[in-house]
Amino acid sequence: MKKQNVTIYDVAREANVSMATVSRVVNGNQNVKDATKQKVLNIIDKLDYRPNAVARGLASKKSTTVGVIIPNVTNTYFASLARGIDDIATMYKYNIILTNSDGNNQRELTSMNTLQAKQVDGIIFMGNEISEELRSEFKKSRAPVVLAGSVDASGKIPSVNIDYRQAVYSEVTNLINNGNDRIAFVSGPLERSINKDFRLKGYKDALTDAGIPYEKSLLFETDVSYSGGYALRERLQKNEVTAAIVTDDDMAAGVMNSMTDDGISVPGEFELATSNDTKLTEMTRPTMSTITQPLYDVGAVAMRLLTKLMNNEDIEENKVFLPFGLKKRESTK
Amino acid sequence: MKKQNVTIYDVAREANVSMATVSRVVNGNQNVKDATKQKVLNIIDKLDYRPNAVARGLASKKSTTVGVIIPNVTNTYFASLARGIDDIATMYKYNIILTNSDGNNQRELTSMNTLQAKQVDGIIFMGNEISEELRSEFKKSRAPVVLAGSVDASGKIPSVNIDYRQAVYSEVTNLINNGNDRIAFVSGPLERSINKDFRLKGYKDALTDAGIPYEKSLLFETDVSYSGGYALRERLQKNEVTAAIVTDDDMAAGVMNSMTDDGISVPGEFELATSNDTKLTEMTRPTMSTITQPLYDVGAVAMRLLTKLMNNEDIEENKVFLPFGLKKRESTK
DNA sequence: TCTCTTGATGTAACCGATTTCACTTGAATG
DNA sequence: CATTCAAGTGAAATCGGTTACATCAAGAGA
């Protein structure tokens, strides 16, 4: 016995006014006499009227929803961003359509299409790499696009990040100061701009500035996962590394556990620093030193930026960089 | 220079057919001659026409989106369910509107309202407890509601879970067989039905069946978080427990680390079993024994159930229970 | 008193699809 | 050859709002 939905028309009839007037009071338009406003409000309450957002969206061409493309909600790093996004979205009365892409180019494109079909007012994209096709889809989109925690090699898309190069630079310099000269750089695929153009660059720059020769054999490219990190032990040992900078916390936990499981003491014989400051860094033993990033804020600021774009407000700066820090825990000296 | 959107009307004009016909080919209606179908398809392709989902939703009263209420995406347990939900949703051509509630009753109600305003076709709810108000909102909703990984004391709402009582029962029995007779029960708020009516019951039943007296002082109620667990050490030690069953992995990691940090050997002096089999259980040292739950599947099956409900298909069983298991790792003997 | 504004309200077009119903046609049936 | 039927198609109503424009009454200014 689900009752028929109450429409704006029902309210108008019951209140003896036109639909336009009802619409006005619902939308807070000032041009309504207080008396009639009250009358309408009473009827709305009595009938338990709730505006149909779909109809509203069709008429106004605004859906008050934004699309969010995420590699995988299950990944704490991205989930933290997503949480920041949702909170700010809610604050501005938007809802979020969430789609998992697994970083797969084809699925990212599909998502873009369905999101646009659903007339989202804006899109926040998180991903490891932006293909040419995707970039052109962004450009064609009527809905503005903002990148969160994701870099764009072309540098033209609005985005919110930290300065990954500088962050890695600082952390590596720190490891160097601790006396290490064979420092492993452990990352996901180097074909990704964020790894190649920023993090690796920070690593190289730090070595150069310290006068340490760069060795290609100290680069370890692997799956961004616990097992991906765990599997590296043998190669790391063979190359006699005494420290590692790792670009993902799960991966870092894998690297560290594989070492300690083999009886190598951390940080005594092997120092390790990671990058994302997820809560995992406090749960491992030893706890992991890390670059600290305001994950929640990256998402939040990205969403805030998107609201401005959606309102055609002027933007001071297209690319915003949030401050990072270094947190020393037990895995470094 | 964002171009004006192409509408069904444009396609119809260009192809010299009516809107109805275009609609038919777009929706795969059989009653269209092959020749005209091809003609329309060509124009669609030429004009790059993409149906407006909002208009479609208004006309058909189907939005092909479902609402998902989640306490916090940042929580791996719920995020895993969400991933299962999204995958199956995508498979059935639905999108997901995700809202974080923090388990807050008021926000859950607000979410229900906005989701219904957006005309979602169905709703999946994850939460710790269902208030009377919320339950009545579920009942009033035109969109069917399915619970995922969440129990309903009234037992009337369709849901997908594992048998929490039985799972805890098995795990506790296991600890008893290992020689423990002072086993702590560590959970979140006991006012929650899932903790009180199912897990605690499993704990009690196991003790009873083993002839061990139940002691209220062995119940530990705390924040469902790492720090919540970590803070319990003193109380646990004071009560001379030799083992613990913990209802959340983060919490369990907290309990375990607080013990090992104090020099207590696990599992030598203290055994610990946890409940959710998130990847964290493999990242701690020692690794944690756990109840295994098909998290992804709970979400996936819930979504599948929801699709049936949305299609008014007959349901064999309102409440589905997926099989659980026990995984022995290093934290138990 | 008459014109001008301005505030409050209503009328109706419009947003972009789906869907019912009626109509046309050609083939099958008797 | 008349009748029936099914396939293919279009006209128009409809979904539930927003909004441009028209209208009207009342107070302000000359």
Give per-residue pLDDT as tens, B318-330.
Answer: 999 999 999 999 9
Look at A79 and B79 and tell me if their CB atoms are within 8 Å.
yes
Is the pLDDT assigned to residue A95 strictly greater than 80?
yes
Look at A54 and B57 and tell me if their CB atoms are within 8 Å.
yes
Confidence of residue A58 (pLDDT cuts 50, 70, 90): very high
The chain B residue lying nearest A61, using CA atoms, is B54
Q: What is the pLDDT of residue B1?
A: 38
Smallest CA–CA distance, residue B204 to chain A, in Å, is: 30
Taking residues A158-166, report their average pLDDT: 97
Taking residues B255-264, report their average pLDDT: 97
Confidence of residue A153 (pLDDT cuts 50, 70, 90): confident
For residue A264, the chain B residues in CB contact (below 8 A) are none
Closest residue to C7 (CA to C1') is A31
Is the pLDDT assigned to residue A287 strictly greater than 60?
yes
Instruction: Determine the Cα–Cα distance for residues B247 and B228; give it in Å rounded to an integer.
Output: 12
Taking residues B294-313, report their average pLDDT: 96
- In this complex, the residue of A53, A113, A257 whose CB is nearest that of residue B118 is A53
Look at B285 and A53 and tell me if their CB atoms are within 8 Å.
no
Contact B151, B197 (CB under 8 A): yes
Closest residue to C16 (CA to C1') is B55
Give the CA B42 to C1' C29 distance in Å. 38
Instruction: Determine the Cα–Cα distance for residues B4 and A211; give it in Å rounded to an integer.
Output: 58
For residue B139, the chain A residues in CB contact (below 8 A) are none
Chain D bases closer than 7 angstroms to a protein Cβ:
7-20
Q: Which nucleotide is nearest to A61 (CA to C1')?
A: C15
Span A228-252, pLDDT tens digits: 999 999 999 999 999 999 999 999 9
Smallest CA–CA distance, residue B5 to chain A, in Å, is: 9
The chain B residue lying nearest A59, using CA atoms, is B55
Is the pLDDT assigned to residue A227 strictly greater than 50?
yes
Is the pLDDT assigned to residue A51 strictly greater than 80?
yes
For residue B82, the chain A residues in CB contact (below 8 A) are 73-74, 98
Confidence of residue A1 (pLDDT cuts 50, 70, 90): very low
Smallest CA–CA distance, residue A16 to chain B, in Å, is: 24
Instruction: Determine the Cα–Cα distance for residues B165 and B278; give it in Å rounded to an integer.
Output: 19
Q: What is the pLDDT of residue A301?
A: 98
The gap from C-alpha A74 to its chain's centroid, in whole angstroms, comes to 13
Taking residues A203-228, report their average pLDDT: 96
**What's the mean per-residue pLDDT of chain B?**
95
For residue B279, the chain A residues in CB contact (below 8 A) are 226, 250
Look at B117 and A50 and tell me if their CB atoms are within 8 Å.
yes
Taking residues A46-68, report their average pLDDT: 96
Task: Give, for B63, the enclosing helix (H) or strand (E).
Answer: none
Look at A54 and B50 and tell me if their CB atoms are within 8 Å.
no
Span A304-323, pLDDT tens digits: 999 999 999 988 889 999 99
Give the CA B29 to C1' C19 distance in Å. 12
The gap from C-alpha B124 to its chain's centroid, in whole angstroms, comes to 8
pTM of the model: 0.94
Give the CA B53 to C1' D12 distance in Å. 22
Span B112-155, pLDDT tens digits: 999 999 999 999 999 999 999 999 999 999 999 999 999 998 88
DSSP B101: -
Smallest CA–CA distance, residue A239 to chain B, in Å, is: 25
Q: How many CB pairs under 8 A join A and B?
A: 135
Taking Cα atoms as reference points, which of A232, A294, A222, A224 lies closest to residue A257?
Answer: A232
Q: What is the pLDDT of residue B30?
A: 87
Instruction: Determine the Cα–Cα distance for residues B29 and B229; give it in Å rounded to an integer.
Output: 58
Q: Which nucleotide is nearest to B117 (CA to C1')?
A: D16
Confidence of residue A155 (pLDDT cuts 50, 70, 90): confident
Chain C bases closer than 7 angstroms to a protein Cβ:
7-12, 14-20
Q: What is the pLDDT of residue B2?
A: 45
In DSSP terms, which residues pair with A219 in a beta bridge? A185
Give the CA B14 to C1' D3 distance in Å. 38
Instruction: Determine the Cα–Cα distance for residues B106 and A309; give it in Å rounded to an integer.
Output: 31
Is the pLDDT assigned to residue A2 strictly greater than 60?
no
Taking residues B200-219, report their average pLDDT: 97
Taking Cα atoms as reference points, which of A181, A227, A173, A224 lies closest to residue A202?
Answer: A173
Whether CB of A53 is under 7 Å from strand D: the answer is: no
Confidence of residue A4 (pLDDT cuts 50, 70, 90): low
Instruction: Determine the Cα–Cα distance for residues B135 and A157; give it in Å rounded to an integer.
Output: 44
Q: What is the pLDDT of residue B155?
A: 86
Pick the residue of B54, B90, B121, B139 with the most A CBs within 10 A to test the interface with A by mutation. B54
Look at B116 and A50 and tell me if their CB atoms are within 8 Å.
yes
Whether CB of B33 is under 7 Å from strand D: the answer is: yes
Closest residue to D6 (CA to C1') is B31
Smallest CA–CA distance, residue B129 to chain A, in Å, is: 21
Q: What is the pLDDT of residue B4?
A: 62
For residue B250, the chain A residues in CB contact (below 8 A) are 279, 283
For residue A76, the chain B residues in CB contact (below 8 A) are 74, 76
Look at B116 and A74 and tell me if their CB atoms are within 8 Å.
no
* Other beta carbons less than 10 A from residue B237's beta carbon: 14
Look at B54 and A51 and tell me if their CB atoms are within 8 Å.
no
Taking Cα atoms as reference points, which of B127, B40, B41, B76 lies closest to residue B302?
Answer: B127
Percentage of chain B modeled with pLDDT above 70: 99
Smallest CA–CA distance, residue B123 to chain A, in Å, is: 14
**What's the mean per-residue pLDDT of chain A?**
95
Smallest CA–CA distance, residue B80 to chain A, in Å, is: 6
Give the C-alpha distances (Å, rounded to integers) separating B120 from A109, B61, B281. 24, 9, 36
Which residues of chain B form beta strands (DSSP E)?
65-70, 95-100, 122-125, 145-148, 159-162, 183-187, 219-221, 243-246, 271-274, 289-292, 319-322, 325-327
Span B34-72, pLDDT tens digits: 999 999 999 999 999 999 999 999 999 999 999 999 999
Instruction: Determine the Cα–Cα distance for residues B98 and A69; give it in Å rounded to an integer.
Output: 12
Task: Output residues with Cβ under 7 Å from nucleic strand C.
Answer: A 16-21, 24, 30-33, 35-37, 55, 58-59, 61; B 5-9, 19-20, 23-24, 26-27, 50-52, 55-56, 58-60
List of residues 6+ apart from A185 with CB closer than 8 A: A199, A200, A203, A218, A219, A220, A244, A245
Closest residue to D9 (CA to C1') is B21
